Chain A
Amino acid sequence: MSQPTPRPSLLTPDRILAILTKAAASTILLMLAALLIILTLAALPSIQTFGRNFLIGHDWRPNEIQQSLHAQSGQTEIKILPPSFGALPVIWGTAVSSFLAILFAVPLSFGAALFLVRATTRWLAEPISFLIEFLAAIPGIAFGLWGLFILCPFLQQHIEPPLNAAFRAIPGLTWLSTTNALSGHDMLAAGLILAIMIVPIITAISRDVLAAVPPAQVQAAVALGATWWQTCQEMLRHARSGLFGAVILGLARAAGETMAVAMVIGNSNRINLSPLAPAQTMSSLLVNEFPTAGDLHRSALMEIALILLVMSLLFNITARYLVVGKPPQVQTP
């Protein structure tokens, strides 16, 4: 007896799974959209009030000031300065602390990556790689604690006094010195602790990128009589876009880090050229000031969060393109 072919039901397991997985995947897009939309809406009052001045203004003043102007006629006018928010000091803070972090981290990371790829055997590289990945997984609050209780006192007592004296003594570098008391809570501390935080990421990605250099390239260089370092230079040159991507990812992590920086940077909303002076980054400002009242103030903080978000998106997109997106180079003989 032949049964009629059953009509396909709409709710087979396959169909359900297809719908569920598609919904889950769409959630990812929704998450990004939510971030951008909600933050922009919340930042709108501040954007509309301050416009471009927000990005180039020096003053971050949440309170209003009443000034009495003594006019020539002898009368006293009260001029009220409303709260004014200029984000330049914190943009500067994030930029300089991240730059310092990269400055300290990149030589260490590239050196370690080269060592791991070209100078160690398997049994040595494995545990070292594990330790470096473990370092990458340690959360920012741990680095904050280490910075606060180990690095800052060490800087304050042993490093900064001679450093400050040296800056003052060397002509051309005096602008790097400071007349403030040295507390160890400054841009230098932030740069150093961020550097330690991003070294593992840059090392891990660089190691992978360098390991992906075709062996033929390496062997060719060795065959031509290159020294160890000259071969390394060849590899670095070959992998430069991936390495640049690694640096950008490190930069993104440094710029977005909150806790480690908030605990060591000194919380001073001022631009100071000396790395030995306290400073403030966008993320540490948010941690300090977000719980406060004041609608315009909160909107200004939302605008800062938006800037932070857009900046990190740009970094990540660039890095992704550099590390992953480029088509493989084909070497013609």
Chain B
Amino acid sequence: MLPLKWISIAAALFGASVASAQTRLTGAGATFPEPLYKRWVAEYQKTQPQITIDYQGIGSGGGIKGIIDRTIDFAASDAPMSAAQIQLVGGEQNLLEIPTCSGAIVPACNLPMAGDLKFTADLLAKIYLGKITNWNDPAIKKLNSSLSLPNLPITPIYRADGSGTNFVFTSYLAAQSEEFRESIGIGDQVQWPLGQGGKGNPGVAAAIQQIPGSIGFIEQNFADQNNLAYGSVQNRAGNFIKATPATVSAASAAAQFQGPLLAANIWNHNADNAYPISTFTYLIVYRNLNNMRSPQQAQALAGFLWWATHDGQKIAADLDYTPLNPAAVQRVSEALAGLSYRTNALQRPQ
């Protein structure tokens, strides 16, 4: 009878999942590096077919929550964990935050001249505060006098979910605009006075595609993949910089990693050529991997982290993310050497 057949299929699958030699890992978090991580996972699985890794982009906030709750094996976040969050896992010594690459957050717009627009932090803050509501506003014209800006209302698009991209963008604006800092503030999720929300980087990209005159902050890769044009942003040195691997590199080159957690904030960097809204993106794991179920799983995760920060860096460059520079790779390798499975040491990769 019908139910019996389905019962046996289910039992077989369950049995297969328990008895198989497959080692499985689950990761979740930022949508910023999602295209890269999904590609890494696919490539890594080709080299290690007995390992299956699943990565889902649910937002940096979701990833951090998952690692705190131990519902996932590794988390991905653009924002380093906050002090309060670190407290929830018992302190810095229990975690490792590994930068995997850096990238740029770009102001993509749905306008014909979007690629030529020049922005300052003050301008962006005012747009998101609702103080500048139309593209033909004098403040925008002053900066972009060579462009003929239309009489079109500006629709700011923001992230509806908890997001490291949001954290970086609000940090950048708060550092330069007191009004922004004091009315909206910094966070994974903040309260925006106007505009429309999209879910994840893809959702924001979709919203920008749909609304003429909209502006949204998304990771550069999403903008390029979906043919959304973005302008240049003024950095601390006063130059208008467009996001490219070179300009992001300029921001990440002199990154000072603080403390055992290897977190470094690289936005608003003062180098001449630095793109001002750059960020590292991190993979977060427990230092003693005690949320792993077996030594094989711990070894698999350590192996993947090693591969991603070494062999995987070439792929990062292909997808328009900025790879780690040699000094960063050195620091990361040292940190990864500190991973253990509970109290046992892990095999060092070649």
Q: Which chain A residues have a beta carbon within 8 Å of chain B's beta carbons?
A: 59-68, 81, 152-153, 156, 179-181, 183-185, 266-270, 278, 280, 287-289, 291-294, 297
Can you report 7 A-B residue pairs in the complex whose CB atoms are below 8 A from each other? Answer: A63-B189, A181-B155, A181-B212, A183-B196, A280-B197, A287-B199, A288-B161
Interface size on B, residues (CB 8 A): 41
Q: Given the known A-B contacts A180-B155, A288-B161, A293-B162, are A68 and B182 also in contact in the complex, defined by CB atoms under 8 Å?
A: yes
Does B91 have its Cβ within 8 Å of any Cβ on chain A? Answer: no
Stretch at the interface among B40-48, B57-65, B221-229, B319-327: B57-65
B195 touches A289 (CB 8 A): no
Contact of A62 among B64, B68, B188, B194 (CB under 8 A): B188
In the bound complex, CA of A128 to CA of B8 (Å) = 40
Across the interface, name the chain A residue whose C-beta is closest to B59.
A291
Nearest Cβ on chain B to A294's Cβ, whole angstroms: 8
In the bound complex, CA of A297 to CA of B64 (Å) = 14
Q: Given the known A-B contacts A59-B191, A293-B85, are A267 and B160 also in contact in the complex, defined by CB atoms under 8 Å?
A: yes
Tell me which residues across on chain B come within 8 A of A268, comparing CB atoms.
192, 194-197
The main secondary structure of chain B at its interface with chain A is loop
Tell me which residues across on chain B come within 8 A of A66, comparing CB atoms.
181-182, 185
B188 touches A183 (CB 8 A): no
B187 touches A63 (CB 8 A): yes
Nearest Cβ on chain A to B182's Cβ, whole angstroms: 5
Q: How many A-B residue pairs have CB under 8 A?
A: 111
Contact of A292 among B61, B153, B155, B184 (CB under 8 A): B61
Q: Given the known A-B contacts A181-B155, A183-B211, A292-B65, are A266 and B196 also in contact in the complex, defined by CB atoms under 8 Å?
A: yes
In the bound complex, CA of A303 to CA of B189 (Å) = 19
B160 touches A288 (CB 8 A): yes
Contact of A293 among B64, B160, B212 (CB under 8 A): B64
Tell me which residues across on chain A come within 8 A of B181, comparing CB atoms.
65-66
Does B302 have its Cβ within 8 Å of any Cβ on chain A? Answer: no
A62 touches B161 (CB 8 A): no
Nearest Cβ on chain A to B325's Cβ, whole angstroms: 30
B196 touches A291 (CB 8 A): no
B133 touches A179 (CB 8 A): yes
In the bound complex, CA of A278 to CA of B155 (Å) = 11
A293 touches B65 (CB 8 A): yes
Q: Which of B153, B184, B198, B211 has the most CB of A within 10 A?
A: B211
Across the interface, name the chain A residue whose C-beta is closest to B84.
A294
A291 touches B58 (CB 8 A): yes
A180 touches B210 (CB 8 A): no
Does B103 have its Cβ within 8 Å of any Cβ on chain A? Answer: no
In the bound complex, CA of A294 to CA of B160 (Å) = 16
Nearest Cβ on chain A to B222's Cβ, whole angstroms: 18
Q: Given the known A-B contacts A63-B188, A288-B160, are A180 and B183 also in contact in the complex, defined by CB atoms under 8 Å?
A: no
Tell me which residues across on chain A come within 8 A of B59, comparing CB atoms.
291-292
Q: Which 6 A-B pairs have the closest CB atoms?
A: A63-B187, A267-B197, A292-B162, A291-B62, A293-B65, A292-B61
Q: Given the known A-B contacts A288-B161, A292-B162, are A181 and B182 also in contact in the complex, defined by CB atoms under 8 Å?
A: no
B213 touches A181 (CB 8 A): yes
In the bound complex, CA of A270 to CA of B195 (Å) = 10
Tell me which residues across on chain A come within 8 A of B212, comparing CB atoms.
181
Across the interface, name the chain A residue whose C-beta is closest to B190.
A63
A63 touches B186 (CB 8 A): yes
Tell me which residues across on chain A come within 8 A of B210, comparing CB atoms.
152-153, 156, 183-185
Nearest Cβ on chain A to B59's Cβ, whole angstroms: 6
Tell me the residues in window 9-56 of chain B with beta carbons closer than 8 Å to chain A beta carbons.
none
Does B317 have its Cβ within 8 Å of any Cβ on chain A? Answer: no
In the bound complex, CA of A152 to CA of B161 (Å) = 21
Does B278 have its Cβ within 8 Å of any Cβ on chain A? Answer: no
In the bound complex, CA of A289 to CA of B64 (Å) = 13
Tell me which residues across on chain A come within 8 A of B64, comparing CB atoms.
293
In the bound complex, CA of A291 to CA of B67 (Å) = 12
A288 touches B61 (CB 8 A): no
In the bound complex, CA of A153 to CA of B206 (Å) = 13
Tell me which residues across on chain A come within 8 A of B191, comparing CB atoms.
59-63, 269
In the bound complex, CA of A46 to CA of B64 (Å) = 21
Does B281 have its Cβ within 8 Å of any Cβ on chain A? Answer: no
In the bound complex, CA of A65 to CA of B178 (Å) = 12
In the bound complex, CA of A278 to CA of B194 (Å) = 9
Tell me which residues across on chain B come within 8 A of A287, comparing CB atoms.
199
In the bound complex, CA of A307 to CA of B77 (Å) = 32
Nearest Cβ on chain A to B213's Cβ, whole angstroms: 5
Nearest Cβ on chain B to A129's Cβ, whole angstroms: 29
Does B106 have its Cβ within 8 Å of any Cβ on chain A? Answer: no
Across the interface, name the chain B residue whose C-beta is closest to A89.
B191
Tell me which residues across on chain A come within 8 A of B250, comparing CB atoms.
none
Tell me the residues in window 143-188 of chain B with beta carbons closer than 8 Å to chain A beta carbons.
152-155, 160-162, 181-188
In the bound complex, CA of A269 to CA of B153 (Å) = 20
Across the interface, name the chain B residue whose C-beta is closest to A262.
B199
Tell me which residues across on chain B come within 8 A of A270, comparing CB atoms.
193-194
Q: Which of B153, B196, B213 has the most CB of A within 10 A?
A: B196
Tell me which residues across on chain A come within 8 A of B154, comparing CB atoms.
181
B161 touches A289 (CB 8 A): yes
In the bound complex, CA of A287 to CA of B197 (Å) = 13
In the bound complex, CA of A291 to CA of B189 (Å) = 12
B182 touches A289 (CB 8 A): no
Does B214 have its Cβ within 8 Å of any Cβ on chain A? Answer: yes
A291 touches B182 (CB 8 A): no
B190 touches A62 (CB 8 A): yes
Across the interface, name the chain A residue whose C-beta is closest to B214.
A181
Tell me which residues across on chain B come within 8 A of A61, comparing CB atoms.
190-191
